[in-house]
């Protein structure tokens, strides 16, 4: 059982990396990957929201959705968005320092595809409470890893002599492609 959980975590983090393999959460990946410090904070906020999402999705899957399966999307969105809002207000009140570090990213990632994607994948694969939690933490670590790698490469690219034409999103996408190519090597990890 515990090895299963570990495998779910590693799989979500490396083999099926959310950003580089499933293309989820690309907006922050492109938008806030210019500096390593920002990327780390974004990653931390992502892990946080993903964990909350997983808890909410487990709860909805267990108690609400069996009665009204067609409300799946709407209830996921509404519940996750309001939960994040509540948590954000709590953090603002309890720990202003933490809020300054993470706060501004929380509303940004609430409507991010990685968050809803996690809830939907978790449902489609029939993960329970613990498995969902492992999946969420793995996915969050994977997003953070991708963001930090991207930010490190972009910080270097700032100093490199790149033709003016290639500067901008084209270059970022080509870098992402190479990263994704490298991450495909992890596919060898999968156990039969």
Partner 1 sequence: MTGPESATELVRHAPGAHEAGVLLPGQTTTPGHDFLRGVWEENPVLVQMLGLCPALAVTNTVANSLAMGLATFFVLTGSSLLVSIFKNLIPKEVRIASFILIIATFVTIADLTLAAVVPNIHKALGAFIALIVVNCMILGRQEAFASKRPVGRALLDAFGTGVGFIIAMVMMGSIRELLGNGSLLGYSVFGPSFEPWIIMILPPGGFLTLGIILLAFGWWRGRKAAEVPMVRRWPHGVASRRAA
Which residues contact partner 1 by CB under 8 A?
20-27, 30-31, 70, 72-74, 77-78, 81, 100, 104-105, 107-108, 111-113, 115-117, 120-121, 124, 164-166, 168-174, 176-178, 180-181, 184
The answer for residues whose C-beta is within 8 angstroms of residue 56's C-beta and 6 or more apart is: 76, 79, 80, 83, 119
Q: Residue 126 CB, nearest distance to partner 1 (Å)?
A: 14
146 vs 143: CA distance, rounded Å: 5
Taking the least distance from each CB to partner 1, the nearer of 6 and 162 is 162
Taking the least distance from each CB to partner 1, the nearer of 1 and 160 is 160
Q: Residue 44 CB, nearest distance to partner 1 (Å)?
A: 15
The answer for residues whose C-beta is within 8 angstroms of residue 140's C-beta and 6 or more apart is: 43, 46, 47, 48, 50, 51
Of 111, 118, 103, nearest to 53 by C-alpha is: 118
Q: Residue 12 CB, nearest distance to partner 1 (Å)?
A: 14
Q: Residue 174 CB, nearest distance to partner 1 (Å)?
A: 4
């Amino acid at each position: 059982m515990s090895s299963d959980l570990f495998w779910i975590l590693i799989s979500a983090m490396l083999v099926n990396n959310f950003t580089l393999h499933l293309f989820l959460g690309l907006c922050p990946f492109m938008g806030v990957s210019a500096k390593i410090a920002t990327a780390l904070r974004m990653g931390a906020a992502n892990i946080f929201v993903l964990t909350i999402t997983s808890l909410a999705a487990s709860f909805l899957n267990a108690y609400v959705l069996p009665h009204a399966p067609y409300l799946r999307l709407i209830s996921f969105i509404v519940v996750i968005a309001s939960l994040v809002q509540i948590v954000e207000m709590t953090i603002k009140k309890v720990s202003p320092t933490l809020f300054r570090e993470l706060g501004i990213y929380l509303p940004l990632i609430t409507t991010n595809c990685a968050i809803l994607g996690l809830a939907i994948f978790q449902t489609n694969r029939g993960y329970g409470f613990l498995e969902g939690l492992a999946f969420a933490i793995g996915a969050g670590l994977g997003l953070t890893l991708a963001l930090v790698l991207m930010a490190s490469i972009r910080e270097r690219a700032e100093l490199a002599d790149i033709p003016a034409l290639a500067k901008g999103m084209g270059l970022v996408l080509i870098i992402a492609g190479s990263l994704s190519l490298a991450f495909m090597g992890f596919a060898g990890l999968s156990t039969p």
